[in-house]
Amino acid sequence: MKNANNMKNNLNNMFKKKDGSKFYLIAFLVLFVALIVRVIFFGNINGISKTNNTEIKTPIELSFSDVLRRANDIKTMDIHKDNVATGTLKDGTPYRATITYNPELLEKISKNGASVSINNTDSVWDGVAKWLPILVSALFLIWLLRLMRGGNGGGGITRSLIGQNPTKITTGKTKTTFKDVAGIDSEKQELMEVVEFLKHKEKFKALGARVPRGILLSGEPGTGKTLLARAVAGEANVPFFATSGSDFSGIIVGLGVAKIKEIFELAKRNAPCILFIDEIDAIGQSRSKHSLNDNDREQTLNQLLIEMDGFANDTGIIVIAATNRPDMLDKALLRPGRFDRQINIDLPNLEGRRDILELHAKKFKIADNLSMLDIARGTTGFSGADLENLLNEAALHAVRVGHKVVEKSDVEEARDKILMGPKKSRKIRPEDIKLTAYHEAAHAFVSMHYADITNPIHKATIIPRGRALGMVQTLPVDNKVSMTLAEVRADLAIDLAGRASEEIFFGPNKITTGAENDIMQASRLARYAITTAGLSSKIGMVAINQLDTFGQRTALENASEKTAQAVDAEVRAWTDNAYKDAKNLISKNKATVEKIAKALLDKETLSAEEIREIISGKKTVAKKTVKKSNAKK
């Protein structure tokens, strides 16, 4: 689709040109259409046509011997050039014949009363048929030659097929600076050397230092790679050119190489500058003996390597590239002298998320009591783009419900919508709602029991969203980078508490499939702790799961059949023990869990403080009247 759009734009650009190519192209098209019309309507005189609803008979073909034999039957004969004769027989049948000029034959036909005429002149259509193809070919060749020379503007057919130049985001000073980038302070510090080089090149030359020619930014989508590259150009007050790796691939072989040359020529004319290539893995994939069918991409990569290494050591061009898959890039592209420095941009931590939220919050009307730190605690794993989207969704919800400013409830709704999906309006059976309440109440209670070990609970809800009928949400207190064995066991018990509650309160035959996601999370955590983190005394400190070429873990790689069986048994033992722990806790505190479940049925959502009050017994949660329609959601 993109190639089709590029071809369309290129044709539009051809017609907008001020040179004579447009005239030759239009003339060629007009004459070509005329030639087609000539062939269709006048080229074949042997067919049956209708004129004024009168059918004209198809002329019969007569050989020279037929003419001699049927001379008495001929009524008219018109002899044209090239010894072609046409006419009618006495019964009205038209004919067409190829004859040899013979005065005796013509005299014989004339004596029988036939009308014979000789026409040596060319008709109009004979001239058209003779000269039109030659003229069409000549005009096409003239247009093609002018296009290859580029008309009066230069650039030629290559420029026309390549399309427009890479997008020049800004000229001169950009509006984006490091003040517009938050949450990645260490990455910004890495790029300050580039800014200093572009501003004060002499200081580096005096010491013989060479600034990195290329910088590769890698990281998850939405972490700010493009924003950071644009900020470098803004801080250095130099032009910023941006393109993407997919722009160098086309339907015509060789255009990628031509466009690489074009973009670097453009950058050299505006040096010093920043040249940004997004998604460079589209052209920079590692070359191998199995990639013979993709020679065009390899040629494009080779040209990029040549341009970046080059013969000129001081071009003033700094190439910044971004990718989500640095493992796919060719080693020649990553060697010193090309992409000298690689900067990995991680997802922001707690302080980084708070800084990003505070930066984006300036564009919205935020309530005074809304804490960006609290929002940051509840958005673990969010990228910078996700956080901006969170505030935007919260603002949209605030407008929808009639709030004057973005309040905490708007942010909560936006976060739940992003994590779990929008609220479901389908009707749910009362028994399913009751079971969900007891399920989530058990998660909340066990989570509160292990509050000193795991992340504290934020809220519990039985409002259905996406595929989930309810959930218990926790918020991290600080930036946690690892888990203890006690924390792993506690999380396993929390994950399986919902299924344990179903069995305790409703019986073994009433357990449901609602614990599907809980069981999957528990199994994944147990297997990770046993096979990768080395937390199992039976398996030992052996990394069984290894990362494959795509960065994903495969099940029991490099493990023997005996080891695989031992791992499966250990995973089963860990989950069984966690399930027993959850059942024991719920059985000993059955009344408390039931109080939490009834409160959820009354209010649908309970905060951490409300759950804590129920468990401690200090205060009873005030019942809230819920509409019947809402209770069945």
Q: Which residue has the tokens 């004459």?
A: 31
Phi, psi of 429 (to 5 degrees): -60, 145
Cβ contacts of 158-162, under 8 Å, gap ≥ 24: 158/255, 158/258, 159/262, 160/10, 160/13, 160/14, 161/10, 161/250, 161/252, 161/255, 162/250, 162/255, 162/258, 162/259, 162/262
Structure tokens at 284: 């920079």
The strand order across the sheet containing 457-461 reads: 471-474, 457-461, 605-607
Q: Which residue has the tokens 């959820």?
A: 600
| Residues 6 or more apart in contact with residue 152 via CB below 8 angstroms | 18, 19
Q: At what angle do helices 590-603 and 561-588 cross, to 10 degrees?
A: 80
- Residues 302-317 as b/e (b if ≥16 CB within 10 A, e otherwise) read ebbbebbeeeeeebeb
Structure tokens at 33: 């259409």
Structure tokens at 329: 């890039």
In this structure, the number of other CB atoms found within 10 A of the CB of residue 593 comes to 27
Which whole-number Å values give the CA distances from 245 to 260, 277, 301, 424, in the listed order?
10, 6, 10, 40
Q: 278 - beta bridge partners? A: 244
Rounded to whole angstroms, the Cα distance separating 67 from 84 reads 12
For residues 181 and 306, is the Cβ–Cβ distance under 8 A?
no
Catalytic: which of 187, 440, 604, 610? Answer: 440
Nearest 5°: the CA angle 358, 362, 368 is 75
Is residue 489 packed enough to be buried (19+ CB in 10 Å), middle (13-18) or exposed (0-12)?
A: buried
Does the annotation mark 440 as catalytic?
yes
- Of 454, 439, 542, the C-alpha closest to 490 is 454
- Of 417, 406, 419, 398, the C-alpha closest to 371 is 406
Q: What is the DSSP string of 378-444?
A: T-TT--HHHHHHHHHHHHHHHHHHT-SSB-HHHHHHHHHHHHH-SBP-S---HHHHHHHHHHHHHHH
For residues 1 and 120, is the Cβ–Cβ distance under 8 A?
no
Q: Which sequence positions are flagged as catalytic?
A: 440
